[in-house]
Amino acid sequence: MNQIILVDEIGYLPNDPKRAVYRGENETEFSIISASDGREVYHGVSGREYVTAAADEKNRILNFDAVTEEGEYYIKAGDEVSATFSIKEWVYRDAMGAMLKFFYLQRCGTELSQEHAGIYAHPICHDTDARIYGTDQFIDVKGGWHDAGDFGRYVVPAAVTLADLFLAIELDPGLLKFDFDIPVDNPDLGALLSEIKYEIDWMLKMQNPETGEVYHKVTCSGFCGFFMPEEEKEELVVSPASYAATLDFAAALAMAVKFYEPHDKAYAEILADASKKAFEAGLKMEAKGFHNPEGVVTGEYGDECVEDELYWASAEMYRAFGEERYRTIFDDMAYKHISHGYGWEDVYSFGNIAYILSSYPVDETLKNIIISAIDAKADSLMYLCRSNGYNVSFNERSFIWGSNMYLIQNASHLFTAYYFTKKEEYLEASKEHVHYIFGKNPCNVCFLTGFGSNRVLNPHHRPSAAKGKAMPGMVIGGPDSELQDPTAEKYLQGQPAAKCYVDELLSYSTNEITLYWNSAMILMLAQFVVLP
């Protein structure tokens, strides 16, 4: 569908800035039309022309900030019309609910009931003990969430997923009371903390009780076919412990303590002890990236630069427990090098935020240096935002595997800079990135499954393929101009970078999903305060 007028197909908040993109060279008049009765509620003229090289397009922005009345609308310009969209106060509530429920639907090691999972219900999967690689020892690592379109479970992306979710709760505490239709064993915890606990309980099993080190992942030795998880019957293998997994584990569980302490002090103590044990173990480990052991070919998450793991972990340990030695480690590292990143490969930003928000004393000079660095990073992203018709911080070199995640991370940088500097342009720009994911993009696709008129139908996701219907609430990876799978090579040769996306099951480089893409988007939506 080559739509000429592109909008956020989910919608806009009444008092937020509202932008659409018109793909055309000439200035045009446009109207906002009420979908319920066909009346024109606003008339405007498109803005200046942008050349968006990554999409090989000329674009004009349609501004309709003045439309604030709740309702359903579409845009008309000449003979062209947009998809219908909403303007309402809680416009992202359903999207948030679907994205949160996704974690429950990715549960491993338990039965999913038809009542809560619908067609994605299944009996217990992966319920056997797993062999520790290279040994005859088997351990219980049942539980947790399937990481992506496959059924592997990986500590490093799991830790980043939890970090996103905990920061989202801090931004929008209403998430703690949000009911997104999952079974809840402990009503005091609520749905989200209950679901996060399910993942944490698995992570605790991945820690070696003797050494404190944390095993990197548990998977079969290779990827399985496109069927439901209970049908994967190959032996489960626990890969060796890694530096990244151990320190990411320490950081994420340190974050968790304060959320569970009011409800279950004993459990919070378990988390604190496991976190501290992992941190001490990490200090003794060689700081190197993980590589798949021989014979294991599942997702590697092989981070070659791991100093940021210690940076993040030391900041979270200090924020959680206040011990001066944690701060000393962080201060020494930060004075040498300040960087940014919200992904599994680069977790510096989590460390920066933890340090700035610590209730324990910090070096105020260093704190201000970090905030200045965040501001400078945001300013560089704003240069990209201003130079293309989609108002996002990407250029033609930005479209790599998981591009939507990197775009959302840029939005997080912008919002973080707004949070600490109160520069409104950062807030507005971060929200434009959300609109991009929800349909205002060169592919004219709502990259959240189950939403939008031009929606993703064939994600690289095994339960979706097995049931013949895309599981709702999954954020898709997005355009990858490097064409890193045979399907992308077949369909996308010669396409502009921003349009190197294909809605095909086997295009794992453009159409897969992961836990931490969802959590990154949840963190971004939390800035809107989407829940009443």
Average pLDDT, the chain: 96
Please state, in angstroms and rounded to a whole number, the distance separating the CA atoms of residues 410 and 413. 5
Per-residue burial over 436-469, b if 16 or more Cβ lie within 10 Å, else e, is bbbbbbbbbbbbbbbbbebbbebbbbbbbbbbeb
Residue with tokens 């090098």: 337
Please state, in angstroms and rounded to a whole number, the distance separating the CA atoms of residues 181 and 163. 23
Q: Taken in order 422, 426, 430, 431, is the CA torsion positive or negative?
A: positive
Class of domain 125-362: mainly alpha
User: What would the pLDDT profile of 322-373 be if each residue is shown by its tens digit?
Assistant: 999 999 999 999 999 999 999 999 999 999 999 999 999 999 999 999 999 9
Please state, in angstroms and rounded to a whole number, the distance separating the CA atoms of residues 271 and 19. 44
Please state, in angstroms and rounded to a whole number, the distance separating the CA atoms of residues 6 and 55. 13
User: What would the pLDDT profile of 188-227 be if each residue is shown by its tens digit?
Assistant: 999 999 999 999 999 999 999 999 999 999 999 999 999 9
pLDDT at residue 160 greater than cutoff 60: yes
Q: For residue 9, give the DSSP letter.
A: S
User: What would the pLDDT profile of 45-80 be if each residue is shown by its tens digit?
Assistant: 999 999 999 999 999 999 999 999 999 999 999 999
What's the pLDDT band for 118 if we cut at 50, 70, 90? very high
User: What would the pLDDT profile of 263-281 be if each residue is shown by its tens digit?
Assistant: 999 999 999 999 999 999 9
What's the full length of the chain, in residues? 532
| pLDDT attached to residue 531 | 65
Lowest mean pLDDT among 53-57, 74-78, 139-143, 303-307: 303-307
* Overall pTM > 0.95: yes
Contact 497, 399 (CB under 8 A): yes
| CA 231-233-235 angle, 5° bins | 155
Please state, in angstroms and rounded to a whole number, the distance separating the CA atoms of residues 164 and 94. 19
- Type and span of the H or E element at 336: helix 324-336
Q: State the helix-helix crossing angle for 515-526 and 155-171, rounded to 10 degrees.
A: 10
Give the catalytic positions in this structure: 150, 460, 503, 512
